[in-house]
């Protein structure tokens, strides 16, 4: 087993991308970030590494601080020994990891070993499921209209983004930071709204692209508008729009929210992998 860290992102992409594309939808998070690396120079503190066993990647790792370390495993060749040696190598290098996210079985095992080796705590933040959509099963929409978000919506969508980040246990974000990111999303024409009675009631965003797919993210409906099918209509309309250019859409759900999981399956999304987010503390 050999752990290699890559300051040369092109070398990491060369090693990791063919491996990740074998399960393109499941690996949409890391592949999406790799796609971004191809378009822009990543920040200096972006961490990329791979564990190679018998000439094949066993684990690929990517971290964009302050976010968690993303883990992708070659499940056919993974062993507890490889995992133990990997964690020990990372600890020896003094790498600071706020948490991990990845396929549930091996990510949980990684976190358990990490907490033992660092004498720290590992806490489950969110149990997730990854879904994939090839074809819409439900085309009926609720009352309302699907539109592209505009700059006039920025103040409201800034509030929604702050609420969304808090709701999903993402790293804290200020209103100023949210406004900056949302302004960029609007400029990129990536945020969409469902309108009811002339006002925005739900939002969704097209996000990371991979070779054949694209992710739907930032799905949010304020409390006062929930239970009316607005999120379902918004996601269905956006997904149908995206499937004109991509073979499939993916999205993540929080398993503690049975309503959203049910909604997406009715639209036609199929579960493909259990994922987990775990945070570390001393």
C-alpha 209/C-alpha 252 separation (Å) is 14
* SS3 at position 12: helix
Hunting for tokens 């590992």 — which residue is that? 122
pLDDT at 201: 97
pLDDT in tens, 67-110: 899 999 999 889 999 999 999 999 999 999 999 999 999 999 99
Q: Which 8-state DSSP code applies to residue 247?
A: S
Fold classification of 2-119 (topology level): Aminopeptidase (3.40.630)
pLDDT at 138: 66
CATH assignment of 133-273, given 3.40.630.30, 3.20.20.70, 3.30.70.270, 3.30.1330.10?
A: 3.40.630.30
Please compute the mean of the pLDDT values over residues 167-191 and round it to a whole number.
91
**Same fold: 2-119 with 133-273:** yes
Closest by CA to 195, choosing from 155, 252, 234, is 234
Is the preceding omega at residue 66 within 30 degrees of 0, hence cis?
yes
pLDDT over 80 at 168, yes or no? no
Angle (nearest 5°) at CA 188 between 228 and 138: 35
Axis crossing angle, helix 230-242 with helix 258-267, rounded to the nearest 10: 40
C-alpha 174/C-alpha 152 separation (Å) is 20
E strands, 121-175, are: 121-133, 145-148
Classify residue 123 as left (phi > 0), alpha (psi -120 to 50) or beta.
beta
pLDDT at 39: 86
pLDDT over 70 at 169, yes or no? no
Average pLDDT, the chain: 94
pLDDT at 141: 77
pLDDT over 90 at 199, yes or no? yes
pLDDT at 112: 98
pLDDT at 44: 82
pLDDT over 90 at 253, yes or no? yes
C-alpha 91/C-alpha 125 separation (Å) is 22
Confidence of residue 133 (pLDDT cuts 50, 70, 90): very high
Closest by CA to 279, choosing from 150, 124, 165, is 124
Closest by CA to 282, choosing from 139, 88, 123, is 123
pLDDT in tens, 12-52: 999 999 999 999 999 999 999 999 988 887 778 899 999 99
Instruction: Spell out the domain ranges in the chain.
Output: 2-119, 133-273
Indicate the helix (H) or strand (E) that contains 35.
Answer: helix 28-39
pLDDT over 70 at 5, yes or no? yes
pLDDT at 257: 87
Please compute the mean of the pLDDT values over residues 132-161 and round it to a whole number.
92
pLDDT over 70 at 160, yes or no? yes
pLDDT at 143: 86
The structure's pTM equals: 0.93
Distance of CA 107 to the CA centre of its chain: 15
Confidence of residue 142 (pLDDT cuts 50, 70, 90): confident
Contacts of 260 (CB under 8 A, 6+ apart): 219, 231, 253, 254
Distance of CA 189 to the CA centre of its chain: 19
């Amino acid at each position: 087993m050999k752990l290699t860290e890559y300051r040369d992102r092109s070398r990491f992409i060369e090693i990791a991308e063919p491996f990740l594309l074998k399960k393109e939808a499941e690996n949409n998070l890391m592949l999406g970030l790799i796609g971004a690396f191809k378009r822009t120079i990543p920040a200096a503190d972006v961490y990329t590494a791979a564990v190679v066993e018998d000439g094949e990647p066993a684990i690929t790792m990517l971290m964009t601080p302050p976010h968690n370390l993303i883990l992708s495993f070659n499940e056919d060749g993974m062993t507890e020994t490889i995992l133990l040696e990997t964690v020990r190598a990372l600890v020896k290098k003094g790498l600071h990891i706020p948490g991990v996210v990845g396929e549930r079985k091996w990510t949980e095992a990684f976190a358990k070993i990490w907490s033992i080796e660092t004498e720290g705590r590992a806490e489950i933040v969110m149990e997730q499921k990854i879904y994939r959509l090839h074809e819409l099963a439900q085309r009926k929409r609720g009352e309302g209209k699907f539109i592209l978000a505009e700059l006039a919506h920025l103040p409201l969508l800034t509030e929604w983004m702050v609420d969304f980040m808090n709701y999903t246990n993402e790293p804290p974000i200020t209103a100023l930071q949210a406004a900056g990111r949302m302004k960029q999303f609007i400029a990129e024409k990536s945020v969409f709204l469902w309108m009811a009675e002339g006002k925005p009631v739900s939002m969704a965003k097209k996000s990371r692209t991979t070779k054949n797919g694209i992710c739907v993210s930032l799905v949010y409906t304020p409390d006062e508008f929930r239970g009316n099918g607005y999120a379902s209509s918004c996601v269905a309309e956006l997904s149908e729009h995206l499937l004109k250019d991509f073979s499939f859409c993916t999205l993540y759900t929080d398993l503690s929210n049975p309503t959203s999981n049910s909604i997406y399956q009715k639209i036609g999304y199929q579960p493909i992998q259990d994922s987990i987010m775990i945070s570390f503390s001393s």
